[in-house]
Amino acid sequence: MATINVRQLDDVVVSRLKRRAADHNRSLEGEARQILQDAVRDDAPGRRQSFLALAAKLRRETEGSRQTPSELLIRADREAGLRTPG
């Protein structure tokens, strides 16, 4: 099993990580390990394939339906004074 060291973490990050660890009844190291495991599990190839299959299914099910292009929706929001996320 490998070991990694993370240096120069901001004090606020460490504080929040400690709070999160306490909320989950884990050590600081255990919480960091869980976060890393969750991050790579969400990036697994099988997960990407299932997303692509779901997207293909959605395209098939909505084929022929009238869709509003996203750029028109964004433009309408901006003209109404709304901000888009990001």
pLDDT in tens, 41-67: 766 677 777 888 989 999 899 998 888
Tokens of 46: 């099988």
42 or 73, which is more confident: 73
User: Which of residues 38 and 83 earns the better pLDDT score?
Assistant: 38
Q: What is the pTM of this model?
A: 0.51
Could you identify the residue written with the tokens 């490998």? 2
Report yes or no: 76 and 82 within 8 Å, Cβ to Cβ.
no
Query: Helix, strand, or coil here: 34?
Result: helix
CB contact at 8 A, 13 and 19: no
